[in-house]
A and B are shown apart, each in its own frame.
Chain A
Amino acid sequence: MRGPVRSEDNNGPGFPAPVTADIRLSVNGDEHPVTVDTRETLLDTLREHLGLTGAKKGCDHGQCGACTVLVDGRRAKACLTLTVTVDDREITTVEGLARDGVPHPLQAAFVEQDAFQCGYCTPGQLCSAVGMLAEFAAGWPSSVTLGAVSPGAVAPGVEGRPPLCDDEIRERMSGNLCRCGAYPNIVAAIRQVAP
């Protein structure tokens, strides 16, 4: 399989030849044999090779979160992940969140709360929220938990774990931007599903 020719591939004279690797990629429980250029990001492989166009390219620099997927259950930015580095990992994209045609509870909550406008950021928001809720359940601290953003407060640790308040949701979801500004409804949707 060959990927599309991108402008960055227009190699000038003296440019070294592309290096490829044959790997197996596990995405949403399916194994895919793919030949990838070592330069290829997971985002490009998903979208251009595997036809999984849920993950979106917003910035390609790690700044917007539209490309968020789960790698071994942890949320990550597919635009900064080289595909060759994750051949032994389990990838979950937004296409893999529903079970047997039944939307993931977060997907249902996004619909109920009207948590999007154009929908471009939504796949990333959903994957990020799935990962975030798992992180919270595992007791991981955030800047809000540790009092680092509310002036004067010095929280000693996470032992007496606070609930997932709106400030926590906003802070923990800050890696996902929404150009339409659907933030209030995104927070409401996540709150609806949060423990």
Chain B
Amino acid sequence: MRPFAYQRATDVPSAVAAGTGQAMYLGGGTNLVDLMRLGVATPEVLVDVTRVPFDTIEETPGGGLLIGAGVRNSDLAAHPLVLRNYPMLAQAVVAGGSGQIRNMATVAGNLLQRTRCSYFQDITKPCNKRVPGSGCPAREGDHRNLAILGHSEACVATHPSDMAVPLAALGAVVNVESSGGPRAIPMPGFHRLPGDAPERDTLLRPGDLVTAVELPALPFAARSRYRKVRDRASFAFAVVSVAAALDVADGVVRDCRIALGGVAHVPWRAERAEAALRGAPATAEEFARAAEAELAQASPLPRNAFKVPLARNVLVRTLLDLTAREDLTAAGDTGETS
């Protein structure tokens, strides 16, 4: 590991002041320390932001939630308002990593974790994301877990986060502080497609500090679901995942929010599926039609073509789960336990 200086920030201004040049912010370290050991990340200064007091979750005046960047993943998933108002977010967080990882991992670090593409993590191999212009061996090589949507000639990596998938579905807003002042960057749109600059995962610029993630009020998200498919029952990254919230009245979809994980360089908001569903009957046939509409734009690689029907099926299944609960409600079960 390359030697580095260590600084501990105690508030946002001191963090931003220290975060210049070849500095990197350190959250739980569960991704960054590993990448430093692998030689993939080589900061000259590590700015520890785990003592910055942005580790609280507060209700916003509009009825949403303001989640501090330093909130640990475990605390996010156990928060009563997250469990009640955004169950798919709690489900996604507990589906990621292990208990130890979630205790360490922060909200900002989770959003900014790098791809698990094996070539990216191996400094003896070329990789456009790690060394721009060096090539992308994944396209011809191991890409079973990589993208089927929105990838480019330059890079076919996926974003590995579970948490980011419901955040994209909800339209969360990422609050950023920098020497140039604060910014608010909405999701989806915070993460970027690879295009010809896969070295940039997000719209963040060097020195930008994520301070919070704001969730809008979305009452129907109280009925939402995260479903993750992986190679073993626990402690594995998603092969494909779906976050969905459904607002059904009189058998018709009034509104919905859907995002897919494990399929693209970004948490993939399924806008075409959403458009196909709004106003449609809440039936298995319509769910299948919506899933087809979304996956029609997929361009899988030879060894990950299985992800296309998998994503379609998981999407349909998730929507069916949600409407099964809708039927329960009609039968008198409010879905609340208090």
Are B29 and A142 in contact (CB-based, < 8 A)?
no
Determine if A17 and B3 form an interchain contact, defined as CB atoms under 8 angstroms apart. Answer: yes
Query: Cβ of A51 < 8 Å from any Cβ of B?
Result: no
Establish whether residues B78 and A140, one from each chain, have CB atoms under 8 Å apart when the complex forms. yes
Q: Which residue of chain B lies nearest to A79 when distances are taken between CB atoms in the complex?
A: B33
Chain B's nearest CB lies how many Å from the CB of A87? 9
User: When the two chains form the complex, which single residue of B91, B97, B321 contacts A175, counting CB atoms closer than 8 Å?
Assistant: B97
Q: Are B77 and A15 in contact (CB under 8 A)?
A: no
Asked whether any CB of chain A lies closer than 8 Å to the CB of B50, the reply is yes
Decide: B337 and A80 in contact? CB cutoff 8 A.
no
Q: Please tell me if the beta carbons of B234 and A143 are within 8 angstroms of each other in the complex.
A: yes
**Residues B46 and A75 in contact, CB atoms below 8 Å apart:** no
Q: When chains A and B are docked, how far (Å) is the Cα of A171 from the Cα of B91?
A: 13
Give which listed residue, A62, A65, A146, contacts B34 with CB less than 8 A. Answer: A62
Interface stretch of the complex, out of B132-140, B222-230, B251-259 = B222-230
User: Once the chains are docked, how many angstroms separate the CA of A145 from the CA of B337?
Assistant: 14
Contact B83 A131 (CB under 8 A): no
Q: Contact check: which of B99, B101, B227, B317 meets A62 at CB < 8 Å?
A: B101
Q: Which chain B residues lie closer than 8 Å to A140 at the CB level? A: 74, 77-78
A160 vs B338: C-alpha distance when bound (angstroms): 8
Docked-complex contact B100 and A175, CB < 8 angstroms: yes
User: Among A17, A39, A170, which residue has the most Cβ atoms of chain B within 10 A?
Assistant: A39
Give the residues in chain B near A142, CB-CB below 8 Å.
Answer: 94
Chain A residues with Cβ below 8 Å from B33 are: 41, 80-82
Residues of A within 8 A of B5 (CB): 19, 38
The stretch of A24-32, A114-122, A149-157 in contact with B is A149-157
Q: Are B99 and A132 in contact (CB under 8 A)?
A: yes
B98 touches A65 (CB 8 A): yes
Interface size class of B (residues with CB under 8 A): 35 or more
Of B3, B83, B324, which one neighbours A152 at CB under 8 angstroms? B324
Cα separation A65 to B97 with both chains bound (whole Å) = 11
Q: Cα distance A81–B34 when bound, in Å?
A: 10
Closest partner residue, chain A, to B98 (CB atom): A175
Q: Are B83 and A157 in contact (CB under 8 A)?
A: yes
Q: Of A19, A138, A154, A176, which is within 8 A of B3 by CB?
A: A19
A148 and B99 in contact, given A62-B34, A80-B104, A81-B104 (Cβ under 8 angstroms): no
Say if the beta carbon of A101 comes within 8 Å of chain B.
no
Q: Contact between B228 and A170 (Cβ–Cβ < 8 Å)? A: no
Q: Flag if A39 contacts B29 (CB, 8 Å).
A: no
Nearest B residue to A149 via CB reads: B233
Most buried by B among A80, A140, A176: A80
A39 in contact with B4 given A76-B103, A143-B95, A156-B335 (CB within 8 Å):
yes
Nearest chain-B residue to A177 (Cβ)?
A: B235
Please state if A138 and B78 are interface contacts (CB–CB under 8 Å).
yes
- Chain A contacts to B: CB under 8 angstroms: 8, 11, 15-19, 21, 37-39, 41, 60-62, 65, 68, 74-77, 80-82, 84-85, 128, 131-132, 135, 138-143, 145-149, 151-152, 154, 156-160, 170-176
**Chain B residues proximal to chain A, CB less than 8 Å:** 1-6, 8, 26, 28-30, 33-34, 36-37, 44, 46, 48, 50, 74, 77-78, 83-84, 87, 90-91, 94-95, 97-101, 103-104, 225-228, 233-235, 317, 321-322, 324-325, 335-338
**A19-B5, A39-B1, A39-B3 provided; 17 other pairs, C-beta below 8 A?**
A8-B37, A17-B3, A38-B46, A41-B33, A74-B103, A76-B104, A80-B34, A80-B104, A82-B6, A131-B100, A132-B99, A143-B234, A146-B90, A148-B94, A148-B227, A152-B321, A170-B234
16 sampled A-B residue pairs with Cβ under 8 A: A8-B1, A15-B2, A61-B34, A74-B103, A85-B8, A128-B100, A131-B100, A141-B78, A141-B94, A145-B94, A151-B317, A154-B322, A156-B87, A157-B84, A173-B99, A175-B99
